[in-house]
Amino acid sequence: MTTTWVGVSVPRKEDRRLLTGRGRFVADMSRPRMLHAVFVRSPHPSAAITAITADDAVKAPGVAAVLTSADLGHPYLLATLERDEFVPTRMPVLAGDRVRFAGEPVALVLADDAYRAEDAAELVAVEWAELPPGTPVHDEAPDNCLVDLQMFDDPAVPGIIKSAPVVITARCASARVAALPLEGRACLAEWDDRDEQLVLHVSTQVPHQVRSGVAQALGLPERLIRVIAPDVGGGFGLKCVVGREEVAVAAAAFRLRRPVQWIEDRQENLTASFHGHEQRYAVTAAFAADGELLALDADIECDTGAYSVFPFTCAVEPLMAATELPGIYVVPAYRARGRAIASHKPPTAPYRGVSRPQIVLVMERLMEKAAARLGLDPLDVRRRNMITTFPFTGVNGITYDEGSYRESLDLAEERTSQWRTERAELRAQGLLAGIGLSCFSERTAYGTPTMSQRRMRMTPGYDTALVRMDPTGEVVVTTGTCGHGQGHETTFAQIVAGRLGVDPGQVRLRQGDTDLAAYGWGTWGSRSVVIGGGAAAKAAGVVADQLRGVAAVLLEASPADIELDGGVARVRGDADAGVPVAELARIAHFQAHRLPVDLRYGLQAAASFDPPGTFSNACHVAMVVIDPGTLSVALRRYLVVEDCGVVINPLIVDGQVRGGVTQGMAAALFERLCYDEAGQPLSATLMDYLAPTAAELCDIEVIHLQTPSAHSETGAKGMGEGGMIGGPAAVLNAINDALSSDVDQIPALPWDLL
Ligand code: MCN
């Protein structure tokens, strides 16, 4: 049996450097003659710019330049959907004649240190003419609607609703939130004369899309730009779009031929980067007397802020929500309208979960409400409606691959039976205790077959990996995916090591560099293990065949009889006949003449992978205790039964689940970005924006079921967002259980619970 590293909790290779302060983040980098960039930002949510005067700022100590939109030639980012219902709008790199949210960048100050740049930014005089309330965000969309999609429109729906025994209507909402990565956005751009390249070090999840965005905005060929993502301190979707600041910094370095660095501060991160999840749902669901869901009608509004993000566009949330709302339930008749509404707030990016925390919340609230109205057990109502035969093609046209929807619910119910006793005891003591549950699937690894349905001009999906073994038998893997906290250096090494019969310690992942990797789509949408890992597995399989070929020559055996394991190539069934893999590598490189032509010239292979996507699933159960005096909610117990197919590294998967649940419960209980009536941000610091701490958490127990995916090279399904997707609904259902309430929006703040 070949040793497999799949399923082993290999400690994260990256943690030694990260935990000992030896990581390399953009802010750790410095260059001779480097300029520090600070942006002059709009204090107004909606105003015309009538003049910008930088005379005083330019004369300030240490200032090298002040650049405006006009200085840069009015560059912009444009993300487009090829749909008539979509209104394309430009996002200027620096606002030129008009600002559309408070915090929008209007000028770039470059100085020899960041403090001088900050001081000089205050000297830039901008003349504003505030626009009257009600002025459309974009002239192209007088009603502020940037996309209006009637995604599904079964004409039978109104009739079914009219004659159904039970009709449930609900208005669910989720607040605008911040992804809040530990490291904000950051970039350092420098012109490299020797390579004739603009090298851009960016804290990003999508290096190739940053390259495309900069190239398109500045009218440069992509070859002229190299984007490198060094260590990235989290992104959660905020960094899977291209920041206009990144383009501005690139333009400044290109123009001045001096290195330019920009480090976003926390206030900018909260008020001027990308937000997520501000959505409103008006849903009507028809149920039969036995709890069967008969029809669903949904009207979905996503407040997507002032601009369409590059490359996803502002349609990403409404499209996802309207398409995937039915989730794990059989919905026989469906209507869904999804709209992206522009507002005078920062644009939204695809923050972790992308609409799925909201659609799961909607469906799980509907199940609870239907059960309450019909006097049925809410778990039985879920079971009555769950998809149980696979593959299943839903009314939304989505084909769901094999999952364990029913099994995960059954197991969760069994494992939490004691919680019900505990809840009764707590209630007997006069405490407000409640248990809530959410069942859901998480579509992951969206390849081009799926993404093309969105009709983006830039359609993401595939990825390519290159696996190379060097003459000492060590392996380097390059990939277009770009981990930023998920432990890819470890899990990709496990996948590749298993195929090559070597130790994961011998496999080094190189990612986040557009000059190293073929065009790829970065890390988001829980795509990396399936798509990047799948490409790496395929390429490693080819290199393994090459190794078997070389071994077969040396051992005078058939390649089919060669096993690679423990760093040695052996003839199956013959314990004595073996050659170390390192020796095969040496011969393949240094003694090529001894090998047949097709085995000469090194050990390497590239492979691409582009699956249709696969669905993981999970059931979350939360138990809360609510203080009757203050109505503050404390999480007491949390269980996740999750199925992401073959688990490559249980330690990492558990960490991903726990991190996601933390964000999910924070969205349910604390987090919201507030704006006043005029559009001024009120959550500009971490004193106002309540991020969770360890004190707000309880232990999160994780149990794995493993239903392998047929669409994945390794059988793994993605899972990086699941914790966030299931968390809000489970916590909100627990609160409603504790208070016998019917709250449908998150966060559920104490005053909402009165
Ligand atoms: N994994 C595994 N076995 C599986 C599935 C996953 O061992 N069956 C491992 C993978 O190998 C990988 C990790 O779990 O190391 C997550 O894998 P995957 O589900 O493929 O998700 P991605 O790596 O593509 O990560 C994206 C996902 C998303 S969309 C967001 S948002 C998010 C998240 O990951 N942002 C994160 N997790 C994050 N974790 C950190 N620390 N920081 C972020 O910004």
Q: pLDDT band for position 601 (50/70/90)?
A: confident
Burial of 220 (0-12, 13-18, 19+ CB in 10 A): middle
Query: What number of CA atoms fall less than 13 Å from residue 11's CA on the CB side?
Result: 4
Q: Convert the pLDDT of each residue in 286-296 to its tens digit.
A: 999 999 999 99
Joined tokens for residue 119: 């001081």
Q: State residue 444's pLDDT score.
A: 96
**Beta carbons of 188 and 200 less than 8 angstroms apart:** yes
Q: State residue 577's pLDDT score.
A: 84
User: What is the mean pLDDT of the segment spanning 538-543?
Assistant: 98
Separation CA 92–CA 547 (nearest Å): 52
Residue 528 Cβ contacting ligand 1 at under 6 Å: yes
**Beta carbons of 184 and 211 less than 8 angstroms apart:** no
From the CA of 700, how far away is ligand 1's center (Å)? 18
Q: pLDDT band for position 454 (50/70/90)?
A: confident
Separation CA 292–CA 743 (nearest Å): 23
Please calculate the CA angle 349-351-356 and round it to the nearest 5 degrees: 115
Residue 491 CA: nearest ligand 1 atom is 11
Joined tokens for residue 295: 């029809």
Residue 481 CA: nearest ligand 1 atom is 24
Q: pLDDT band for position 30 (50/70/90)?
A: very high
User: What is the mean pLDDT of the segment spanning 27-47?
Assistant: 98
- The total of other beta-carbon atoms located within 10 Å of residue 10's CB is 21
Q: Which amino acid is at 641?
A: V
Q: State residue 602's pLDDT score.
A: 84
Residue 352 Cβ contacting ligand 1 at under 6 Å: yes
**Beta carbons of 144 and 342 less than 8 angstroms apart:** yes
Pairing assessment for the beta strands 633-643 and 293-305 based on DSSP bridges: unpaired
Residue with tokens 């760093």: 567
Residue 194 CA, distance from chain mean position = 36
Q: Which amino acid is at 346?
A: P
Separation CA 154–CA 368 (nearest Å): 25
| DSSP 8-class letter at 94 | S
CA distances from 149 to 152, 317, 694 (A): 9, 12, 41
From the CA of 523, how far away is ligand 1's center (Å)? 8
Residue 491 Cβ contacting ligand 1 at under 6 Å: yes
Residue 529 CA: nearest ligand 1 atom is 20
Q: Convert the pLDDT of each residue in 244-292 to its tens digit.
A: 999 999 999 999 999 999 999 999 999 999 999 999 999 999 999 999 9
Torsion over CA of 612, 615, 616 and 617, rounded to 10 degrees? 180
Region of 391 (left: φ > 0; alpha: ψ -120 to 50; beta: rest) is: beta
Separation CA 398–CA 390 (nearest Å): 12
Joined tokens for residue 566: 């423990």
Closest by CA position to 747, among listed 693, 666, 679: 666
Per-residue pLDDT at 107 exceeds 60: yes
| DSSP 8-class letter at 477 | E
Pairing assessment for the beta strands 47-53 and 125-130 based on DSSP bridges: antiparallel
Query: What number of CA atoms fall less than 13 Å from residue 625's CA on the CB side?
Result: 17
- DSSP H helices, 440-487, are 448-451
Separation CA 275–CA 640 (nearest Å): 27
Per-residue pLDDT at 308 exceeds 80: yes
Per-residue pLDDT at 752 exceeds 70: yes
User: What is the mean pLDDT of the segment spanning 709-733?
Assistant: 97
Residue 659 Cβ contacting ligand 1 at under 6 Å: yes
Residue 716 CA: nearest ligand 1 atom is 8
- The total of other beta-carbon atoms located within 10 Å of residue 76's CB is 18
User: What is the mean pLDDT of the segment spanning 378-406?
Assistant: 97
CB burial readout 679-704, b (16+ within 10 A) else e: bbbebbeeeebbebeeebbeebbbeb
Joined tokens for residue 665: 């419960």
Q: State residue 55's pLDDT score.
A: 97
Using most ligand atoms within 8 A of CB, pick from 482, 490, 526 the residue to mutate for ligand 1: 526
Q: State residue 359's pLDDT score.
A: 98
Q: pLDDT band for position 2 (50/70/90)?
A: low
Per DSSP, the residues of 22-35 read ----GGG---TT-E
Using most ligand atoms within 8 A of CB, pick from 348, 404, 486 the residue to mutate for ligand 1: 486
pLDDT cut 90: percent of the chain above it: 97
**Beta carbons of 647 and 716 less than 8 angstroms apart:** yes
Region of 196 (left: φ > 0; alpha: ψ -120 to 50; beta: rest) is: left
Which of the pair, 507 or 2, is modelled with greater confidence?
507
Q: Which amino acid is at 444?
A: T
User: What is the mean pLDDT of the segment spanning 492-515?
Assistant: 97
Separation CA 329–CA 42 (nearest Å): 46
Residue 101 Cβ contacting ligand 1 at under 6 Å: no
Q: State residue 1's pLDDT score.
A: 46
Closest protein CA for atom 14 of ligand 1: 653
Region of 80 (left: φ > 0; alpha: ψ -120 to 50; beta: rest) is: beta
Specify which residues 36 forms β-bridges with: 111, 261
User: What is the mean pLDDT of the segment spanning 56-69?
Assistant: 98
Residue 350 CA: nearest ligand 1 atom is 31
Joined tokens for residue 185: 């956005």
**Beta carbons of 76 and 281 less than 8 angstroms apart:** no
Q: State residue 736's pLDDT score.
A: 98
Pairing assessment for the beta strands 568-571 and 578-580 based on DSSP bridges: antiparallel
Separation CA 619–CA 367 (nearest Å): 14
Separation CA 249–CA 253 (nearest Å): 6
**Beta carbons of 564 and 544 less than 8 angstroms apart:** yes
Enter the pTM of the model. Answer: 0.97
